[in-house]
Amino acid sequence: MAAELRDEFGKWRSFFWPIHRVELRKFVPMLAIFFLIAFNYNILRGFKDSLVVTAKNSGAEAIPFIKVWAILPMAILLTFVFTRLANRYSREKVFYVMMIVFLSFFFIFTFFLYPAREWLHPNELADKLQLILPSGFRGLIAIFRNWIFTLFYVMSELWSTAILTVLFWGFANEVTSVSEAKRFYGILSIFANISGIFSGQALIFLSETIFIPQLPYGKEPWEQSILYLNCAVILSGILTIAIFRWLNKHVILPEERSQAHLAKPEKIKMSMRKNFAYLSKSKYLLCIALIVLTYNVAVNLFEVVWKNQIRQIYPDPSSYNVYMGEVLTSIGVVATLVSILFTTNILRRFSWTASALIPPIITLATGALFFFFTVFPNSTLMGITQFMNLSPLYLSVTFGSLHYCLSRVSKYTFYDATKELAFIPLSKESKLKGKAAIDGVGSRLGKSGGSVIHQGFLLFFTTVAASAPFIALFFFCFLVIWIFAVVTLGKQFDEQVNQNAKLDIPEPESKESSPTLQQT
């Protein structure tokens, strides 16, 4: 197979750009859309943490409470809205509606909510609650006290689920074949990683921008940085809508009409109840859901501990944002190099299982390093810290940044691509319903599950630092489950591809005891 591709494209083109000329009209706009969506994703990822973690009377302990009591309900509501929209409108219209909802919120936050935050935040009531409730509830009180920042955090977090995962990847999986995906997705990941470099530098530059007194917005540099960052997100979103419109009007619609011979496509009816019922009907979908669940639990368990340490070193929001920008830039650089040199060729030449095992193994190795240095700082790091003239806290943050960087690199280069490839052997209907349930709610349940674990330990131990040893134990348990799910799913994926079949999950009310196969 690899030799055929080299003969078809040439040695170097097969390695760096295995795209046919006739495919450029579809692939290049997809690439631009993915770049812009990923740019916003990275900007919001660092930005939302700076707002919440460094806010008044807040900290990293607020994050678990946000993910359980704010993000999870909103994710379920978002999934419900998405399924209703998908039942009534075309894929293209659903994309526009969802994009406009998010961009409108960021506009309202920037020009209305944030300037009035001192008046809108219930500080007096929060102070009274702080005196009444135990100290373990500090994070819960913080999300109530700074509810505007909480809402921004929720919408920023849901951008990843709604726009990047459900809308874009759902669109990409529908308009590409397995053969195209194996060539397209690796290159898409490269440019998504390059967008991380741009967004990281944007965070640094816009957070260090000199205060302009003449600008009728903000009384200090950080407030003007909020204006610049949100304007960048809004403008990028508008450009995304314009490119998506051109792609659908000039490329996708003509292709669909040609392939369907002008026949009207059958409309797929969906409901949120059936989305969840589909998971229980299929071992294949359950394995994908388990991978998404365990990945998000592990990530959430680590991030709260790491971000709590970062705030101790960088309590100022501008400094915090600059540091996150530096980390995002490092992720973008490393991920771009890995994507160019390894991702596309590994996806083409090795099995799905081998490719999908890379992220959990990297996460396990680097996570072990971080938690070891965090849980045992004095006995293990004392000699190193004295030699390097660094504090144990600073060195622990550095190892956490290394873990965050490498685990994110493995996510962008292998986890996302292999997860999306796993959906392709499904029939169109099964793909749409299963993906909506797994990505719309499954990932949220994973993050909320990690947050529930954090909340339990915070209520008992009061601080994130005191609960770190127990968090580490849960972290490694979920990684073992993740690896098991990958191996199990890999066997089923290979079977479907080898049979050249589409896996059709039966309706929940169906009396069939096993999935049916539609030969293609």
* pLDDT one-digit tens code per residue, 168-199: 988 888 888 777 887 887 788 788 889 999 99
Residue 179 lies in a domain: yes
% of the chain beyond a pLDDT of 90: 52
CATH number at residue 25: 1.20.1250.20
By mean pLDDT, which of 9-23, 41-55, 326-340, 506-520 is the weakest? 506-520
Residue 49 lies in a domain: yes
344 or 362: which carries more pLDDT confidence?
362
Q: State the amino acid at position 518 in one-letter form.
A: Q
Cα 503–chain centre separation = 26
Residue 5 lies in a domain: no
What is the dihedral angle through the alpha carbons of 489, 494, 500, 504, rounded to the nearest 10 degrees?
A: -10
**Are the C-beta atoms of residues 503 and 426 closer than 8 Å to each other?**
yes
Residue 7 lies in a domain: no
Q: State the amino acid at position 340 in one-letter form.
A: I
**Are the C-beta atoms of residues 348 and 182 closer than 8 Å to each other?**
yes
- 373/402 Cα distance (integer angstroms): 12
Over range 373-385, report the average pLDDT. 70
| Paired residues of 516 in beta bridges | 504
Within a 13 Å sphere around the CA of 517, how many CA atoms are in the beta-carbon half?
11
The total domain count for the chain is 1
| pLDDT at residue 79 tops 90 | no
35 or 429: which carries more pLDDT confidence?
35
Q: State the amino acid at position 376 in one-letter form.
A: F
Decide: pTM greater than 0.85: no
Residue 513 binned pLDDT confidence (cut-offs 50, 70, 90): very low
**Are the C-beta atoms of residues 217 and 3 closer than 8 Å to each other?**
no
Select from 377, 410, 369, 414 the least CA-distant residue to 393: 377
Q: Is residue 220 helix, strand or coil?
A: coil
Range picked from 69-73, 241-245, 264-268, 391-395 for highest mean pLDDT: 241-245
Query: What CA–CA distances, in Å, run from 157 to 34, 153, 361, 441?
Result: 17, 6, 25, 13
Owning domain of residue 93: 20-519
Q: Which long-range contacts (CB under 8 A, 24 or more apart) does 79-84 make?
A: 79/272, 79/275, 79/436, 79/437, 79/440, 79/441, 80/272, 82/162, 82/166, 82/436, 82/440, 83/270, 83/271, 83/272, 83/275, 83/436
| pLDDT at residue 259 tops 60 | no
> What are 145-172's pLDDT values in tens digits?
999 999 999 999 999 889 998 899 888 8
Residue 446 lies in a domain: yes
Residue 106 lies in a domain: yes
The count of residues in the chain is 520
**Are the C-beta atoms of residues 328 and 206 closer than 8 Å to each other?**
no
395 or 85: which carries more pLDDT confidence?
85
Residue 363 lies in a domain: yes
Residue 335 lies in a domain: yes
DSSP category for residue 136? G
* Token representation of residue 12: 């170097």
